[in-house]
Amino acid sequence: MLQLTGEWLGRGEATVLLVLIGLATLGTVALFLVATAGTLRRRNRTYLLLTVAIGLLVVRSVVGLGTVFGAVPMPIHHLAGHGVDLSIALLVLAAIFAVDRPEAPE
């Protein structure tokens, strides 16, 4: 299993990295499920934008796992990772701007 990690990562490092990415994946999947439930409950564009951003964190973790197992080459890993980072930042900004202004007191 871990022999597929390639030359850039030793066996001990691969084990630690695999555990960390595995925990990150489980955490982001759990967070995504909670966010999805919130989005379905609120049916709000802001919730939807944030849920998609959290879903991209799951994608990022899966790309990391694919890299550790040798299925995703390092250049693709970096391109996907930075692309996901940019997308998350844009989605969070869109969510901030999508929030309605509070009503002014009369």
Examine residue 106 and state whether it is found in any structural domain, yes or no: no
Tell the residue number behind the tokens 């030793």, with chain if given.
10
Contact 91, 66 (CB under 8 A): no
The answer on pLDDT for 1 being more than 50 is no
pTM above 0.85, yes or no: no
Q: Is residue 39 part of a domain?
A: yes
The answer to the question of residue 72 being in a domain is yes
Question: What mean pLDDT, rounded, does the chain reach?
Answer: 87
State yes or no: pLDDT of 102 exceeds 50: yes
In a domain, 58, yes or no: yes
Q: In this structure, is residue 36 part of a structural domain? A: yes
- 103 lies in a domain? no
Residue 94: closest CA among 37, 41, 56:
56
The pLDDT of residue 48 is 96
DSSP single-letter state for residue 102: P
Q: Supply the range of the domain harboring residue 19.
A: 2-98
Q: How many domains does the chain have?
A: 1
Residue 10's pLDDT is 74
Q: pLDDT, tens digit, for every residue of 36-68? A: 999 999 999 999 999 999 999 999 999 988 888
